[in-house]
Chains A and B, each alone.
Chain A
Amino acid sequence: MTTFLQATVAGLSLASIYMLLALGFVIIYKSMQVLSFAHPAIMLFAAYMVSWFSIDKQLNFWLALALGVVAAGTLGWLSERIAVRPMIGKPLFAIAILTIGLDIAIRTPINNLIGINIRSVGDPWGFGTWQVGGVVVQHRAVAMIVTAFIVGSLLFAFFRYSRVGLAMRATAIDQEVALAQGISVGRIFSLAWIMAGAMAALAGTFASSDLSGLSQSTYIVALKALPAIVVGGLDSIGGAVVGALIIGLAEAYTATYQSQHLSFLGGNFSQVVPYLVLLVVLLIKPYGLFGTEEVERV
């Protein structure tokens, strides 16, 4: 039972990282029907900025985090404005490929900056733990889960109650009609990328705060958020949360139990479980659990 709870805590903290990333993907997808494969690069950039400000520049961690969030938001905004905006109206797939190009172009210099050594982001949680009835809970796990919960709630409130949130929802439903109502659709696009970038910054910082630190391969985390949005359905914000929980918990339980019970599947199997879940869900529900099924008119 303790093992199970331990795995659940690990799964929830993974899920909170995936959730922050998945929400960004979904916001961008909903506002402009673009899937951003540039997210790994934005996340890595943000984590590097946080690490640079807090370690190299000796700034307070919270200040560094705030600067990292701003930097990632700016990078998201620039990417949208320079590379993605000219492609509006082109086939979905062409834009997706373009963001892959963007990812490569951004991530290569950042890899060079990160270098081959593992960097720390200088987070205040360290490796401190609490004992809760035999279960070891890391401080950073609590910080991650709480942050994800707060960000998620704020986002729901934003979309539900604010004027800009309403404008974003209108744009998601129909861009032209939104334009006719006086909504600056271009600004909504920019805002979506800024929000996604900011959340990626939080996710990147959390992902780099564990033992493995910030390295060139940290970007893999952002790719594992992709199964989360597909499982939830590309255009569902609630789905992104559920998808992130499913993927995070599945990964953590596999990491805990697979080596004993299903060892023939090989080492590090938990790393590919997200993709296995993705395949199974797509097999049963081609538009994800909560995604809108496309209605085709002839």
Chain B
Amino acid sequence: MRGRPNLFTRYEADAGIFPSNTQRVWFVIGLLAVAALPIWLPRDWMILIATAFIASVGVIGLNLITGYAGQVSLGHAFFLGIGAYAGAALGGVATDRVTGLGLDILIWLPAAGLAAGLVGAIIAPVAVRLRGLYLAFLTLGLVFLGEHIFREWDSVTGGPGIGREPAELSLLGWRFDLDGTIGGFDVTREQQIYWLGLVVLIFMGFMAKNLVRSRIGRAFAAIRDRDIAAEVMGIDLTRYKVLAFAVSSFYAGVAGALLFTVTGFVNTASFNLLLSINYIAMVVIGGAASIAGSIMGAAFLTLLPRMIDAAGDVLPFLEVGSQGILSTSQLERVIFGVLIIAFLIFEPMGLYGIWIRIRNYWKAWPFSY
């Protein structure tokens, strides 16, 4: 259908991930550009962007349950924590303090996701009975209980303040976390972690995209829009809610395990309510019920501290040294809070909504619609 990209003659084409060839081409170009970035980027930026990639995986997970299935979860930090420690226990090195099996990434990464997914599936039947805010409370309680468990179970987590070594990033003997050479080119640890994060994000992103445009995704959306109507139409609420919980937790588990390896250290107290709120904010700012939006939100909030730092250098009135009213990190927290409020009031569709508006403006240009 050259020349008429919006004319669909088959349902498959209508439900496709890329509705037109233009989008397909631009996606490949964009992907190549992002993949080529680490050749020039400074090291700290590479780690930051790799963190954004991996956070995106976690945000996609939260978006699946909160954005698509409409089930409010404040417990994402708990599942991230399970993934992080499951990954570390399976892929880390045993010491006299902590257990570790030193397995391959091919085993510990899916296993970390499965561990979190399993816990999610166990908790889900309780959560299925609850609606709206009561569900938010249940997941809130999980975060606090989880924090306590992580603190006490020090043979796995290393205990508060001390922590443990993360899992090793070794794929069939190849170490991502050490500098090496591929085909004669020197590659640094940061570059490899960047590419690993990108590959995982693309894989998990396409999986999620395929899930939400399938029968299951339509069932999620029906439950979100009106659960009773969905039930009347023959959607098994319990089954799909449990499924949503399990899949979302799986994504959180994978993200948690990888985040741990990238940052190298986590305190048991870092899987707290604030982390959950961070992820909720990424969903809200990125755009609920949108995979692309999840990635935008994760990238935006992960890079926000750096942007504020940079803005502080350029704009003299943003003098935010230690003697100012607010330090840089505090200013960042305030901006973070204000952004959540502003997006919810003015742009509930998030960054993705802004992007759609800009796109539609240029589509119709020079007419207003």
Contacts and interface: CB of A to CB of B under 8 A. Distances in A.
Interface residues of B, number: 44
Quick one: which of A100, A101, A267 has the most chain B CB within 10 A? A101
A227 interface: yes
Interface in A255-293: 265-269, 271-272, 275-276, 278-279, 282-283, 286-288
A287 B134 contact: yes
A272 B152 CA distance: 12
A16 B356 CA distance: 51
Per DSSP, chain B at the interface is helix
Contact of A105 (B138, B144, B152, B338): B338
Contact of A102 (B138, B273, B341, B348): B341
Interface in A216-248: 223, 226-227, 230, 234
B126 interface: yes
A286 B138 CA distance: 10
Interface string A191-216: 00000000000000000000000000
Given A104-B337, A111-B330, A266-B148, A92 B137 contact: no
B228 interface: yes
Given A86-B345, A105-B337, A105-B341, A93 B136 contact: yes
B345 A87 contact: yes
Query: Chain A interface residue count: which class?
Result: 35 or more
B360 interface: no
Given A93-B133, A272-B145, A294-B131, A108 B138 contact: no
B325 A100 contact: no
Given A227-B141, A278-B137, A279-B145, A105 B334 contact: yes
Contact of B130 (A109, A276, A282): A282
Contacts of A104: 277, 333-334, 336-337, 340
A279 B232 contact: no
B196 interface: no
A97 B138 contact: no
Contacts of A287: 134
Interface string B327-346: 10010011011111100110
Interface string B297-325: 00000000000000000000000000001
A223 B336 contact: no
Contact of B152 (A96, A266, A283): A266
Nearest to A291: B134
Contact of B137 (A98, A100, A226, A265): A226
A164 interface: no
B140 interface: yes
Nearest to A41: B337
Interface string B207-240: 0000000000000000000001100100000000
Interface string A81-107: 001001100101111111011111110
Interface of A: 35, 83, 86-87, 90, 92-98, 100-106, 108-109, 111-112, 223, 226-227, 230, 234, 265-269, 271-272, 275-276, 278-279, 282-283, 286-288, 294, 296, 298
By Cβ-Cβ distance, the 10 closest A-B pairs, closest first, are A101-B340, A105-B337, A104-B337, A266-B152, A275-B141, A108-B333, A275-B144, A101-B341, A272-B148, A101-B337
16 contacts: A86-B345, A92-B132, A96-B72, A96-B133, A96-B136, A97-B340, A100-B280, A108-B330, A108-B334, A226-B137, A275-B144, A276-B145, A279-B138, A282-B137, A282-B141, A286-B131
Given A35-B136, A94-B348, A105-B334, 19 more contacts: A90-B344, A100-B277, A101-B336, A102-B337, A104-B333, A108-B333, A109-B325, A112-B325, A112-B330, A223-B273, A230-B134, A272-B144, A272-B147, A282-B137, A282-B141, A283-B126, A286-B129, A286-B130, A286-B131
